[in-house]
Structure 1
Amino acid sequence: MANLVQIAEQRRSRLHASWACWQINSLPRFDRFLVDNFPQDRRFPIPNSITTQTDDSQVPVADLQGNQQELEALGHKSSPFFFGLGTLGMTVAGETFGAFAYFYYVDFLGLTLALAALARTIYAIWDALNDPLFSYLSDSTRTRWGRRRPWLLISVPFLALSFVLIFLVPGSMRGQNILFWYLVAVTLLYETFLTITGVNYNVLFPELFRTLPDRVRAGAFNRAGLILGVFVGLALTPLVYEQLGFQKMALLYAALAGIVLFIATLRHREDSSYQNPAIPGPWPIFREILKGRTFWLYALTLAIFAFAVNLFPFAIPFYSKYALGAESGTIVLIFAVSLTAALGSVPVWVRLYRRWGTATVFLRSMGVIVIASLGLGLAPESVTAILATGIYGIGWGGCQVCFDVIRADLVDRHFHLTGQRSEAVYFSLLGVGIHLSGVLQGAAMFAVSGLFGFISGEQPGPQPDLAFRFLIGVVPVIGLLLSMYFARQFFNQIAPKPASKQMPWS
């Protein structure tokens, strides 16, 4: 009987190999493009997650269960489209909050810019502190449904509810001090569930997509979902709140985000072998990650980059109103042009990625954003500003092509060094710097208030146009140049030695 079982398993293993070969030979045109354009000597050293048997030797008994798990994984192949759909849902809510929540409180409800900056700083500090906590809890979770899905199914409804509460301000909360504390309370609630959702969703990427062609393809769908979500959250939102008001807009977006996130969460199935049988306490994991110079260089690059580019959506509503003297339709055009340019540039950047590698694409993309930011600061009227935002979008699209591939490879490197699946903790520690960039954004808001006398929409001060030209055209350029410096150091640090050709960083 044992021999019959082994023979059956051998046949199944050969069938498994045939199935894998059939998958490669039947790739659609875009998949074939990825395979052809990323030859073996330019791929990341990603561990092969599919073991195949190509001869008639005996199958080791210890491998029989592994083959069964692999067949099950093949039967539930992850969909890049649905992964991008989930990103779309999160991004719509996140970008709407980032661009219009504080604008709503300052320009519509009369909260002072200084108090809004203080609320933004408190939000950023909490955002940075809670990421490692929830990430460690996620990595430590072991259930029959996986590590991430239980957290997602619980957090998504509360994320939608807290988003609605941000814009559904009771009339009794409209006083200056009580409005400030209401803003702090609801944004901290929103950020808590945004962190739980974002941490658990984003760290699924390296588990669901394990080869470089799969990651580039999934990354393209993911970034397409992100760019489309940014388009809805930034470009369409002024039209929506003018027609429906902020409260109904919040209800509509919360429903959209919640539904697509639920669909995406239920569509993906985690690999049970990725659950850690036992995970040490948080401090050994943190220490192992934080002792690497590579981690710190990339974390600094991301943090300063996030500070610079996140000023763009925050400042545009103010910039359009006070610097350009334009109506809300101009806000729509600015965001629409920049995001259309970003989305259209992604296929071009993917091709350039093949020729130049990650380092060159990333650095040149940031250079394009620097030029566009200077153009925004100097733009005399709306047409020039819209053209500058188109250039901005092209540079932003190039940076987005690189992020998923870089992060997934860094997680793989960490696994090879430690043997621990700590994707959530690793991503969250990178995220600490990104979230703390909100403190820098708060400082920039304080600086604008102090230097140019801008108090609120009711008291804009003597030079509101210069205030927001400075915020969108000077501060981001300084940040991007500093980020480019750390990015160069990072790519030099992880560049392969001359004898190795495994990493396409340059």
Structure 2
Amino acid sequence: MEATARTSPLRYGAGMFGTSLPINLVKGSMLYVYVELLGLDAVVYATVYAVYGVLDALDNPVFGYLSDRTRSRWGRRRPYLVVGALVLTVTTIALFSVPGAVADSAVGLAVWFAVFAITTEMADSLINASYGALLPELFTDERRRATANAVRQGAQLVALVIALALTPVLARNVLGSEGSAVGYGRLAIIFGVVAAAVILWTAFGVREDPALDAEPKPQFFRSVGQIVSTAHFWTVGVVNACYGTAMALVLGGLQLYVDHTLGGSALEASILQLVVIAVAIGMLSVWAAVVRRKGAAWTWRVALPVAAAGFVPLYFATDLVTGILAGLAVAVGYSGVLATNDLVIARVLDADAARHGTHRSGLFLAAFGVLGRLNGLLTAAALASLTLWFGYRSGADPGPDPGQAFRVYLSVYPFALLAIGTVVSRFIRLPAAPEAAGAAGAASSAGSDSEPDAEPDVEPVTR
């Protein structure tokens, strides 16, 4: 029986809530907690973050390779989901629960940050190397795959509401107080435990296709060589990295943007993020409908420039009202890329499996992750540039114009990155959707000259 008949898209997709909750607390609050509240120098933070980005890029292929080669009674992917969930809970709690003696020492704070930021990101990589690989393997039809992806992206957006939009108020007004990191530590405990429970629930509900165990185990160096020689690795990977870096800047800098640029409070930061995420959730169904009508590739190419243009109004916002209006523009484009990006990547994984006769989705996704995780270097450079050009070093030493610093950080940099991604996307010829590729193969066998389905950007896939 096909694996798609035995795994619920709802149960698979809900796992994204668990994977997103703690890591978005990290992405959305780590910079604020360590630099603004605990006083870690922005240059030190940027340096550690750059190292963290390199190490995180290196561990991705290892985790993906191990996942692809695993053959066990519990499946290939499930063991890594279980172990990763438990490790992620522990490291997230430690990252936001800095002992007083450590916080009082500049060196101690930097070391604590480096150790637990890196291990938290490694745990996230361990989980997502397997979780992401399950999407193309469990759902082989693009329409059913789009449904599963819509569920998981919706689950991610719900997690964003909690981990981003509600966090400022919860951490600074409910569980803690303004100027203190205590509330963030308490939230980390709650989020970590809930996330582990959800990921474990998903892991034990996934039914992997046992037929895939009969495929030959991929060889690391041979597979890496084949992957990096594939044009889609570089083209789709670069676009994905541009999008990922832009969103990393937004997630990390939004609370600082509200504080310094809009002159807002924790409540206003929560309101802005809540409105943006709520609109993104609503737009997800609209973009999903466009995908069903026009295909993932066409919709993806439209969503990217819309996302880029959405960051322009953020530069001109001056208060909560104009910030919300600007945020609505961001939400529309962000939702579009969210609805299509993984579908585009899944097509590349399908083509690779058909071409080489083995599913090595974990390693291929990890290879994409090398490009994407290197966004740590760009994020670090962007943060360091605020010290160089605007004099911002920390909450205790914000420089003469922190408002302009974070206006640039949250608007100009993301716009530039997504503009690059938009240009690159115009030169990419994507593989056919799985059902279109199957139709093309049948037509070829019958001697037909007809084109598959509705995608003009189809590349032939050979085994």
The answer to whether TM tops 0.5 is: yes
Report the CA distance between 1:417 and its aligned residue.
0.7
Instruction: Please state if 1:256 is matched with 2:189.
Output: no
- Kindly report which structure 2 residues correspond to 1:336-355, keeping only aligned pairs within 5 A, or say none: 336-355=274-293
Q: Is the 8 A contact 1:136 1:424 kept in 2?
A: yes
Q: Is the 8 A contact 1:376 1:473 kept in 2?
A: yes
Q: Which string of whole-angstrom CA distances, capped at 9 and with x for unpartnered residues, describes residues 327-365 of structure 1? A: 011111111111111110112112222444334322332
Q: Is the 8 A contact 1:164 1:254 kept in 2?
A: yes
**Aligned residue for 2:461?**
none
Which residue of 285, 289, 298 corresponds with 2:236? 298
**Aligned residue for 2:409?**
471
C-alpha separation between the residues in 2 aligned to 1:135 and 1:253?
A: 26
Report the CA distance between 1:232 and its aligned residue.
1.2
Report the CA distance between 1:280 and its aligned residue.
4.2
Instruction: Please state if 1:167 is matched with 2:96.
Output: yes
1:500 is matched by which residue type in structure 2? E
Task: Report the secondary structure of 1:338's partner residue.
Answer: helix
Which residue of 455, 458, 461 corresponds with 1:504? 455
Which residue of 26, 32, 57 corresponds with 1:97? 26
Report the CA distance between 1:91 and its aligned residue.
0.5
C-alpha separation between the residues in 2 aligned to 1:140 and 1:206?
A: 17
Identical columns (%):
27
Q: Which string of whole-angstrom CA distances, capped at 9 and with x for unpartnered residues, describes residues 133-175 of structure 1? A: 1111111111111111122222211110000000110112121
Report the CA distance between 1:306 and its aligned residue.
1.1
Q: Which has the larger radius of gyration?
A: 1
**Aligned residue for 2:49?**
120
Report the CA distance between 1:85 and its aligned residue.
1.4
Report the CA distance between 1:254 and its aligned residue.
0.4
Report the CA distance between 1:434 and its aligned residue.
0.7
Q: Which string of whole-angstrom CA distances, capped at 9 and with x for unpartnered residues, describes residues 246-285 of structure 1? A: 1211100001100000101011111111125542420101
Report the CA distance between 1:474 and its aligned residue.
1.0
Instruction: Please state if 1:358 is matched with 2:296.
Output: yes
Q: Is the 8 A contact 1:276 1:421 kept in 2?
A: no
**Aligned residue for 2:257?**
319
Question: What do you get for the CA RMSD once the two structures are aligned?
Answer: 1.9
Task: Report the secondary structure of 1:449's partner residue.
Answer: helix
Q: Is the 8 A contact 1:227 1:343 kept in 2?
A: yes
Instruction: Please state if 1:334 is matched with 2:272.
Output: yes
2:452 is matched by which residue type in structure 1? K
C-alpha separation between the residues in 2 aligned to 1:446 and 1:502?
A: 48
C-alpha separation between the residues in 1 aligned to 2:31 and 2:15?
A: 25
Q: Is the 8 A contact 2:27 2:252 kept in 1?
A: yes
- Kindly report which structure 2 residues correspond to 1:68-83, keeping only aligned pairs within 5 A, or say none: 70=1, 73=3, 77-83=6-12
After the TM superposition, which segments of 4 or more aligned residues of structure 1 sit over 4 Å from their partners? Answer: 492-499
Instruction: Please state if 1:282 is matched with 2:220.
Output: yes
Point out where structure 2 has 5 or more consecutive residues left out of the alignment. Answer: 176-182, 441-448, 458-463
Task: Report the secondary structure of 1:427's partner residue.
Answer: helix
Task: Report the secondary structure of 2:427's partner residue.
Answer: helix
**Aligned residue for 1:213?**
143
- Kindly report which structure 2 residues correspond to 1:15-414, keeping only aligned pairs within 5 A, or say none: 70=1, 73=3, 77-174=6-103, 175-242=105-172, 243-244=174-175, 245-414=183-352
| Structure 1 residues 331 and 114: CA distance shift in structure 2, 3 A | same
Q: Which string of whole-angstrom CA distances, capped at 9 and with x for unpartnered residues, describes residues 204-244 of structure 1? A: 11121111221011111011111111111110111221211
| Structure 1 residues 156 and 355: CA distance shift in structure 2, 3 A | closer
**Aligned residue for 2:368?**
430
Report the CA distance between 1:126 and its aligned residue.
1.0
**Aligned residue for 1:39?**
none
**Aligned residue for 2:460?**
none
Report the CA distance between 1:368 and its aligned residue.
2.3
C-alpha separation between the residues in 2 aligned to 1:132 and 1:344?
A: 35
| Structure 1 residues 280 and 368: CA distance shift in structure 2, 3 A | closer
**Aligned residue for 2:180?**
none
- Kindly report which structure 2 residues correspond to 1:485-504, keeping only aligned pairs within 5 A, or say none: 485-491=423-429, 499-502=450-453, 504=455
**Aligned residue for 1:59?**
none
Q: TM-score, normalised by structure 2?
A: 0.90
Report the CA distance between 1:315 and its aligned residue.
1.3
C-alpha separation between the residues in 1 aligned to 2:42 and 2:309?
A: 28
C-alpha separation between the residues in 2 aligned to 1:350 and 1:140?
A: 33
C-alpha separation between the residues in 2 aligned to 1:504 and 1:85?
A: 30
Q: Is the 8 A contact 2:280 2:334 kept in 1?
A: yes
C-alpha separation between the residues in 1 aligned to 2:214 and 2:385?
A: 47
C-alpha separation between the residues in 1 aligned to 2:230 and 2:432?
A: 11
C-alpha separation between the residues in 2 aligned to 1:315 and 1:493?
A: 36
Task: Report the secondary structure of 1:458's partner residue.
Answer: coil
| Structure 1 residues 325 and 395: CA distance shift in structure 2, 3 A | same
C-alpha separation between the residues in 2 aligned to 1:350 and 1:281?
A: 36
C-alpha separation between the residues in 2 aligned to 1:400 and 1:499?
A: 32
C-alpha separation between the residues in 1 aligned to 2:327 and 2:401?
A: 23
1:428 is matched by which residue type in structure 2? A
**Aligned residue for 2:390?**
452
Report the CA distance between 1:320 and its aligned residue.
0.3
C-alpha separation between the residues in 2 aligned to 1:417 and 1:360?
A: 24
1:504 is matched by which residue type in structure 2? E
Q: Is the 8 A contact 1:358 1:504 kept in 2?
A: no
Report the CA distance between 1:202 and its aligned residue.
1.5
Task: Report the secondary structure of 1:267's partner residue.
Answer: coil
Q: Is the 8 A contact 2:347 2:432 kept in 1?
A: no
Q: Is the 8 A contact 2:40 2:106 kept in 1?
A: yes
Task: Report the secondary structure of 2:396's partner residue.
Answer: coil
Q: Is the 8 A contact 1:112 1:455 kept in 2?
A: yes
Task: Report the secondary structure of 2:250's partner residue.
Answer: helix
